Chain A
Amino acid sequence: MVSFHGKDLVSLAPLKRDDIEGFFLLVDEMKNIILRPVKKVPTLRGKLVANLFFEPSTRTRSSFELAGKYLGADVINFSSSGSSVTKGETLLDTVYNIGAMKPDLLVIRHSSSGAAKYVSLRTDIPVVNAGDGINEHPSQGLLNAYTIREFKKQLDGLKITIMGDVAHSRVARSDILALSNFNTEITLYGPKTVMFYDHSPYNVKIAQSLEEAIKDADVLMMLRIQRERQSALLIPSIREYAKFYGLSETKLKMTKPDVIIMHPGPVNHGVELSTNVVYGDRSVIYNQVTNGVATRMAILYTLLGGNANEN
């Protein structure tokens, strides 16, 4: 029985190696389901999953929605990008309102770090963090680790480099938390303006050049540059970023031949990755998307499955 050590999945910090390895086996099963011609199973029939998205999102929301539907649950979507706050409604009020409609699980995306944790402490309903500010994106961290395992067979012994705006990336933090449970060597690289001021809480090293960052890597995890959010003080320009921190086919010549390239999507083509790299044979970006649905099915199953079986 897989456990997230509580009713929620708001952070990957509590998960240990055994938890994640057990979880991977569950994802394997879920993946079998979605590769079938008829995908729907009745496992979570009668359960209601509520997606609460306080930030625009298409991919993550769709992924959770499909995950719920493939398992037979009903899924409803509430979107509200800050507008309820301007109306004087608080986050907690919104959650209580939706909670009163008796969903069995809440999937929350919010621009404030800690928002999912805050909500989870105020409701008995299981909460899944679908991204909280710049803090965490646990399902993405799990699906990334799962995808690496799929292509590299095991996580132990791998050199993994995370490149881009690490300090403001919820994906990076969840990646680090998930991968640190294994015997991996994690390297971070990007402009100094977007590195952690103090990276000592994590077992990571900081590369000092692009070459150092990519040449021995087994996995390159590229982060999305949030163009709309970047202030000019972090990154002077997109073309400068693309030249020094983006991955092109030319730069790929420096890497190991079997390196895999990952990206949480959506990719800024020509910025962090060139189009040819995105569509190239080392890219596993679309596998990540498929694994994302399977991972989220496994998350919903873990948090709701026990009850479903009892019923």
Chain B
Amino acid sequence: MKTKIINGNIIDVESNSVYKGTVFLKDGIIEKVEKENNTQKDDYEILDAQGGYVAPGIFDMHVHFRDPGFEYKEDIKTGLRAAVAGGVTRTACMPNTKPVNDDPAITSYMVEKAKNLKLSELYPIASITMGQKGETLTEMGLLKEAGAVAFSDDGLPVKNSDVMKRALEYVSRFNAPIISHSEEKSVSGNGVINEGKVSTLMGLLGIPAAAEEIMIARDLLLAGYTGSHMHIAHISTKGSVELVRWAKQRGFNVTAEVAIHHLTLTEEDLYKAGYDTDYKMNPPLRTSEDVEALYQGLKDGTIDTIVTDHAPHARVDKDIEFDKAPFGIIGLQTLLPLSLTLFRKGILTLPEIFVKLSLNPSKILSLKGGVIKAGEPAYLTVFSLEKYLFTKEMIESKSKNSPFIGREMEGKKLYTIVKDRIL
């Protein structure tokens, strides 16, 4: 199968430039890239980018697909459909399923199911410890063979520091990062939103920034001590950015991600929305000062990647009292337009955005892709700058828990190209 993408502005992450050109695809590989718009008749099928952009395929390395176990919230099929709709070519899913993804058979189930669907790609993240209990290590070698690309206990952070240290040591033979949802649960306690002005005003129990920063500090020190690769999930505070920056300056093998909603919303938005549980997530929405620090972290390379932390919850879970509702929002279909606001705000260039959305997650997980050049696998996100209202009806996920419903978006997926699939 041969395809060429014409009438597109190609986003080149290596030269930090955007140029008019043509991308030629053959059998799921980028065959060649020409620096002119090639509309000549030949044996390539034509894909028209309509004057939009051709970018390295978005890779969201932090999603929850709830499959197996909580299929009423989401399953691999609906999750990947949402990915396709959002221009996300690859996803990595967290292991907090039921049963927990701590066994190669579960990893294989996910990989096989995703493969058969022929939608976007799915890379499972297996748990660090059996049952996410924080006690005994999973069979990281076998899990890696079955298709796991990283290890994380996600929402149940490894409490015992020795377990975390051993996990970092053990995983180093298998070339996969440990991903830490860094949270000191004894400090976050029963908190439901950021501790600060808004928790005072709303009478809700707060989650101190220190709950995140204490655990990040520990995890960074363990990464430094072991020399292993530690990836810090969804950092959300100014202090966290400073800690990760410090660790990188020391040469620790550390990478970090930020969730798109932490770049887009603050606790003030939560306050304005009242007790709307679609603004409840963990880490919680922080202050505008934190958001500024996250922008700086993106600019100076402290933060490597932008993720969704796509966390579907059904109406029955979310349409209840604020403090009783689960944390998390969906995000696969809003990642692209919301990331593009970083360009409009002058924080990142378009190629820099795709370094964060595509190249860096590929590197973090030791996978190919993330660059538009000959020989690379054809993961491409083709999009326009069309403006539109994001509505509930557009949502492909089973769950509709998004605070962005009704928001004007700029940036729409035209094609999600996953090797030989044009979706």
Contact = CB atoms under 8 A, between A and B. Distances in A.
Nearest to B200: A196
Contacts of B275: 113-115, 117-118
A8 to B, nearest CB: 12
A133 B319 CA distance: 18
Nearest to A196: B200
Interface string B180-206: 000000000000000111011111111
Interface stretch (A143-151, A197-205, A261-269): A197-205
A173 B204 CA distance: 12
Nearest to A166: B200
Interface in B199-232: 199-206, 208
A69 interface: no
B321 A115 contact: yes
B321 A112 contact: yes
Interface residues of A, number: 26
B202 A199 contact: no
Nearest to B274: A117
A284 interface: no
Contacts, number: 68
A200 B204 contact: no
Q: Select the residue from A112, A173, A199 with max chain B CB neighbours within 10 A.
A: A112
B389 interface: no
Contacts of A198: 195-197, 199-200
B70 interface: no
Contacts of A196: 200
B139 interface: no
Interface in A125-151: 132-136
Nearest to B325: A112
A132 B321 CA distance: 10
B: contact size bracket = 20 to 34
A106 B176 CA distance: 56
Interface in B256-288: 274-275
Given A112-B321, A198-B196, A135 B203 contact: yes
Q: Select the residue from A85, A118, A170 with max chain B CB neighbours within 10 A.
A: A118
Contacts of B274: 114, 117-118, 121
Nearest to A118: B275
Contacts of A91: 320-321
Contacts of B390: none
B199 to A, nearest CB: 7
Q: Is the interface of A mostly helix, strand, loop or mixed?
A: loop
A197 B208 contact: yes
A135 B196 contact: no
B200 A90 contact: no
B209 to A, nearest CB: 10
A110 interface: yes
A308 interface: no
Contacts of B196: 197-198
Q: Select the residue from B200, B201, B321, B324 with max chain A CB neighbours within 10 A.
A: B321
Given A197-B196, A197-B208, A110 B321 contact: yes
Contacts of A90: 316, 319-320
B170 interface: no
Interface in B318-346: 319-324
A147 to B, nearest CB: 23
Interface string B370-406: 0000000000000000000000000000000000000
Given A92-B320, A114-B274, A132 B203 contact: yes
Interface in A192-220: 196-202
Contacts of B321: 91, 110, 112, 114-115, 118
B203 A113 contact: yes
Interface in A52-84: none
Nearest to A169: B203
B199 A133 contact: no
16 contacts: A85-B324, A90-B319, A112-B323, A113-B204, A114-B202, A114-B204, A114-B275, A114-B321, A118-B275, A133-B323, A135-B204, A196-B200, A197-B200, A197-B208, A200-B197, A201-B197
Given A121-B274, A197-B200, A201-B200, 20 more contacts: A90-B319, A92-B319, A92-B320, A112-B321, A114-B202, A114-B322, A115-B275, A117-B274, A118-B322, A132-B203, A134-B204, A134-B205, A135-B202, A136-B203, A173-B203, A196-B200, A197-B206, A198-B199, A198-B200, A201-B197
Interface of A: 85, 90-92, 110, 112-115, 117-118, 121, 132-136, 170, 173, 196-202
Q: 4 closest A-B pairs (Cβ-Cβ)? A: A135-B203, A114-B275, A112-B321, A113-B203
